[in-house]
Amino acid sequence: MATTPQATSPENNPRVKAVFDDIRATRKTDFVNNMWRSLAFDPGLLETTWADVKRLMATETLLDPLTKEMIYIAVSIANGCSYCVHSHTAAARAKGMGSEQHAELLAIIGLAAKTNHLATGLQVPVDPVFDLGGPASPAGL
């Protein structure tokens, strides 16, 4: 199922082809996954989305690549995005996540979800010491 038509030959559009080529070159694989094929219905949206993903996820930054994928998985699970859970779990595995790390990641996500719901159910007031926005924020916590 899909809400946009998937073109048979999306790369007939040169802007689409340029993005697909960059995906293949950046990831060193011929495979272009369905996310990009779906986005190809609008070259502008495809270009800006890929630019964002490339800048943060396919470029060397402060956080290591596997940590970034695990954070991405955490958000995707909490937001209930089935596609994203599949694609980023595959990416994390490709970057070295083994079954034990996967299990621990899921355990932490499950625990966070549980305490999120408990804290919201209890309406726990934020401890003043956690506030960094005031004029006299603590140097340390």
Contact 76, 85 (CB under 8 A): yes
Span interacting with a copy of itself, options 9-17, 18-26, 59-67, rule CB under 8 A: 59-67
Shortest Å distance, C-beta 49 to a copy of itself: 7
Shortest Å distance, C-beta 20 to a copy of itself: 15
Residue 59 interacts with a copy of itself (CB under 8 A)?
Answer: no
Complex with a copy of itself: residue 25 or 126, whichever CB lies closer: 126
Q: Determine which residue in the list 17, 22, 49, 65 makes contact with a copy of itself, applying CB under 8 A.
A: 49
Residue 30 interacts with a copy of itself (CB under 8 A)?
Answer: no
Residue 20 interacts with a copy of itself (CB under 8 A)?
Answer: no
